[in-house]
Amino acid sequence: MNELQTILADSVNGLLAERVTKNLIQSAEDGVWPEALWSELEANGLTRVLVPEAQGGAGGTWADAAIVLKAAGRHVAPLPLAEAVLAHWLLAEAGIAAPDGVLTVMEGDLTLSAGKLSGTARRVPWGRQAAHGVALVGGNLVLASLDGASVAPDINVAREPRDTLTLKDAAAQSAPVALPENALRLYGALVRACQMAGALDYLAAQTVAYANERTQFGKPIGKFQAIQQQLAVLATQAAATGIAADHACASLKKGDAAFEIAVAKIRADDASSIATSIAHQVHGAIGFTYEHGLHFATRRLWSWRAEFGAGAEWAESLGRETIARGADALWPYVTAR
């Protein structure tokens, strides 16, 4: 870790470990916005980790941001921290000053005309709490005020807000930006892969701890070979996801990292299916109760794997690219990454 990464790790883990409790997550699922915690995260500059220092940010890289995003997943923070990190980065890329308040990203049938944004954005993360939304419309990055937007509330499996927003002539700023047409989905997949890597780390640690505490036939169940084998698989899945996410973030230094991001999201989605199954099998019935904390992570993993493109969608995309290049080009392309 470099100095900035050490500072970020201490800051975000300190804040979230101390303040994200089971009661806070349950309250957030009931619609209570944890405003005090959000204010602390903003005050510590964690939403601006990717913003250049000249624009008031930390001047970090995506490798630095991965630390923040993984912590958000590991502590299952009921906040749009990942979305805000992405939105601030997009605004910095476009040279648009970020406003105060909660930021989110949105996709949908949106049109920009004379500085006004209209249309419908669906499944907007934390849409009801957001003051502004960031979208890509016709090669322009758009920052739109959500004041006055019509909100149709909805949630994902983890009970996080995923709302439908209808805008009519919302005040907006825009600027052309040199990003891929699918930039929101692409970089959204990256932030989800990082969050999922963090949540899988939590799953592995929690499951190992439980296996060493729960006794059966006079000894901890973690001493049984069948359980040990499952724990090894779980740990392997968590480690592989973390490496894939880190590699995707590091690859952005070289420019195009679409291949690495797709691989990271595919790996995270596959790992989530395997790891959540093992975690709940080891925990048994207690892991399914609302009083236990395990489901806060597993439900988020189940939700996040479908967002910004499921693993199957990214796998299909890579498959089509491979066919287009031809079989002889596959191995040289993969090894050159």
For CA atoms 250, 52, 49, 193, the dihedral sign is negative
State residue 185's pLDDT score.
Answer: 97
State residue 123's pLDDT score.
Answer: 97
State residue 290's pLDDT score.
Answer: 87
Helix (H, G, I), strand (E, B), or coil: what is residue 139? coil
State residue 291's pLDDT score.
Answer: 87
Give me the residue spans of the domains in the chain.
3-176, 183-336
The C-alpha atoms of residue 11 and residue 72 are separated, in whole angstroms, by 12
State residue 336's pLDDT score.
Answer: 85
What is 3-176's CATH number? 1.10.540.10
Contacts of 332 (CB under 8 A, 6+ apart): none
State residue 225's pLDDT score.
Answer: 96
State residue 266's pLDDT score.
Answer: 98
State residue 255's pLDDT score.
Answer: 84
Helix (H, G, I), strand (E, B), or coil: what is residue 158? coil
Asked if residue 282 lies in contact with residue 221, where contact means CB atoms within 8 angstroms, the answer is yes
State residue 196's pLDDT score.
Answer: 98
DSSP string, 167-221: EEEEEEEEEE----TTHHHHHHHHHHHHHHHHHHHHHHHHHHHHHHH-EETTEEG
State residue 323's pLDDT score.
Answer: 95
State residue 228's pLDDT score.
Answer: 97
The C-alpha atoms of residue 280 and residue 323 are separated, in whole angstroms, by 39
Rounded average pLDDT per 10-residue block, the chain, 337 residues: 90 93 94 95 96 95 97 96 98 96 96 97 97 96 97 97 98 95 96 98 97 94 96 98 98 92 98 98 92 94 97 96 93 88
Specify the CATH number for 183-336; select among 1.10.10.10, 1.25.40.10, 1.20.140.10, 2.70.50.60: 1.20.140.10
State residue 288's pLDDT score.
Answer: 86
State residue 254's pLDDT score.
Answer: 87
State residue 210's pLDDT score.
Answer: 97
